[in-house]
Structure 1
Amino acid sequence: MLTEEQLTAIRQLQEVCETHDGVEMKLNWDMLKSRKGDQEDFFIWKDGTLIAYLALYAFGSTVEVCGMVLPQERRHGHFTRLWEEAQEAIRAGGFRKVLLNAPGESRSAKGWLAGQPCSYSFSEFHMQWAEQPVGDNPGIAMRLSEPADKAFEVELDAEAFSLTAADAEHYYEERLARQDERRYIIEADGNPSGKIRVARSAGESYISGFAVASGLRGQGIGGEALRWILQHEAPTGNTICLDVETRNANALKLYERIGFERKQQQDYYEAALPFIQ
């Protein structure tokens, strides 16, 4: 579990790096605030100031890696040192896939990645809603997820996000601890037809885990569910955002039609590590 001092230091380092580099980092704050173990976060401090940080984010058998170094402390091997420490935790965790995350416009991150045994995997757009009228959603009903919905949610996660059944179940259990997140079931004609999650924190409402059952896609269910979410989140005054893979043309078209705008891009590289088989 991260302390308030650690969380504040991470936030401050993020702000400095983003301002200096003109980028937006993906630090998954909902996950940082619900940490359970002590082998997911790696720090380098100097005179009481956090100068380098690396985080691991587990998604079943896949782990994502994100980190940053204070601008004036770069080129001193700090991030490489943290990465070496993190590899031990990755090995101990038995992960099968490692994805290194970097802002698309970060020259310092891309420079470091160029010296690593990794290959480009995919990219995501970070999208933000520009407030506008969204209309009604008469064809669906939304309710909070219940324990009885577990099998439906796990199966839908596995199918929609290409996860193994074991990974989908692990991810479901991990998310139950996130106190700032609301999990919704989308119902059409009285039957569970999809799901969507919203995490509120620090002036942001972040949408994730959005999926409609494969046999019901193309019927407008997803669009109506998104409109319902926007109607309920807009009054909070929060920035409403989400991430979507750049190659997902159908999702991009839907989000842009409702008013989401593309912001920065995040690139993912798969690490080729000797202990990952």
Structure 2
Amino acid sequence: MLTSEQLIDIKELQQACEASETFDLKLNWDMLKTRTGKDREDFFYYEDEKLVGFIGLYGFGNKVEICGMVHPDFRRKGIFTGLFHEALHEVKEKGYRKVLLNAPSNSKSAKDFLERIPCKYSFSEYQMKWEETEMDKSEDVTLRLSTPDDFELEVQLEVQCFGFEEEEARAYNTQRYVDDQYYIILSSGKAVGKIRVSHLGGEAWIYGFAVLPEFQGKGIGRKALTNIVLKEHKAGFPIFLEVEAKNAHALRLYESCGFRAYHSQDYYEI
């Protein structure tokens, strides 16, 4: 588990890096705050008791994302390269099938590093924020909190909608972030999808939004999204989500519901 001091150090380093180039780093704070300590997932470099380099691993079933940073005053000293090789060794030990390096689209320092390693561009992801839009609550599509009885449905949604292997989906769905809310989407009373809402730093983030393929194209996703947005808005939270730029259907859905892109991340496969 990461200590409170380590989390503070990471946050301060993040702020220094973002201020130097005016970008947003995707450090998956919901995952950082709930590390179990069973695996080595975080790599630190200190000088004079000050954190100046950090890399985190974020596993999602069969793939892992890598994101890290070095303080602007300590770059070009090989710090990130050293941490990166440590992280890659751990990735190989765990046997991930897909390894993605995550970099802000407008980060020059990240792009300079990427030019020096064997990798290829994979896709871009938009961070989107909801701008208040008039929306009507749906009555035939509803949400309820997930229970242990929903486990098999959640596994199948990972397999059919996100490309997980079944064994990986089972392992992934045994993890629960204590501060998150896990919902099941119901259409006319039938469980057909899921959605997760993370509350972090006074914001609501939507993740894991999926509807079974045989129920897609019927407006269920739009109604479920509308209902969760209205719920979080009523509770006073600004609302955010992430979507791959190549997922044109999801992008159009989110834009039509009032979400607007404000930042992007590029992913490179290693």
Quickly name the TM-score band, shorter chain normalised: over 0.9
Could you state the TM-score of these two structures normalised by the residue count of structure 2? 0.97
Q: Deviations over 1:74-115 (max 9, x none)?
A: 111110010111122112212222111101111100110110
**2: CA distance, partners of 1:17 / 1:199:** 24
1:172 counterpart residue number: 173
1:137 is paired with a residue of what secondary structure? coil
1:100 is paired with a residue of what secondary structure? strand
| CA drift at 1:25 | 1.0
2:55 counterpart residue number: 54
Aligned-partner residue type, residue 128 of structure 2 = M
**1: CA distance, partners of 2:25 / 2:200:** 16
Q: Deviations over 1:171-211 (max 9, x none)?
A: 1112x2x1111110010111101110001011111101001
| CA drift at 1:48 | 2.0
Q: 1:136 to 1:236 in 2, by over 3 A?
A: closer
**Superposition pairs for residues 136-151 of structure 1, below 5 Å?**
136-151=137-152
**2: CA distance, partners of 1:238 / 1:89:** 37
Aligned-partner residue type, residue 5 of structure 1 = E
Q: Cα RMSD over matched residues? A: 1.1
Q: Deviations over 1:14-38 (max 9, x none)?
A: 1111121111111111110110125
1:267 counterpart residue number: 266
1:131 counterpart residue number: 132
1:274 counterpart residue number: none
Q: Which runs of 5+ in 2 are unaligned?
A: none
Structure 1 stretches (4+) deviating beyond 4 angstroms? none
2:32 counterpart residue number: 32
1:7 is paired with a residue of what secondary structure? helix
1:109 counterpart residue number: 110
**Superposition pairs for residues 10-29 of structure 1, below 5 Å?**
10-29=10-29
| Preserved CA contact (<8 Å) 2:137 2:230 | no
**2: CA distance, partners of 1:131 / 1:203:** 17
| CA drift at 1:118 | 0.8
Sequence identity percentage? 47
Q: Deviations over 1:111-159 (max 9, x none)?
A: 1011001111111111111122221212212100010111111101111
1:192 is paired with a residue of what secondary structure? strand
**Superposition pairs for residues 188-227 of structure 1, below 5 Å?**
188-227=187-226
1:256 counterpart residue number: 255
2:237 counterpart residue number: 238
2:8 counterpart residue number: 8
| Preserved CA contact (<8 Å) 2:55 2:67 | yes
2:155 counterpart residue number: 154
1:24 is paired with a residue of what secondary structure? coil
1:121 counterpart residue number: 122
2:241 is paired with a residue of what secondary structure? strand
1:275 counterpart residue number: none
**1: CA distance, partners of 2:106 / 2:100:** 18
Q: 1:18 to 1:151 in 2, by over 3 A?
A: same
1:247 counterpart residue number: 246
Could you state the TM-score of these two structures normalised by the residue count of structure 1? 0.94
**2: CA distance, partners of 1:14 / 1:237:** 26
**1: CA distance, partners of 2:191 / 2:211:** 9
**2: CA distance, partners of 1:27 / 1:134:** 32
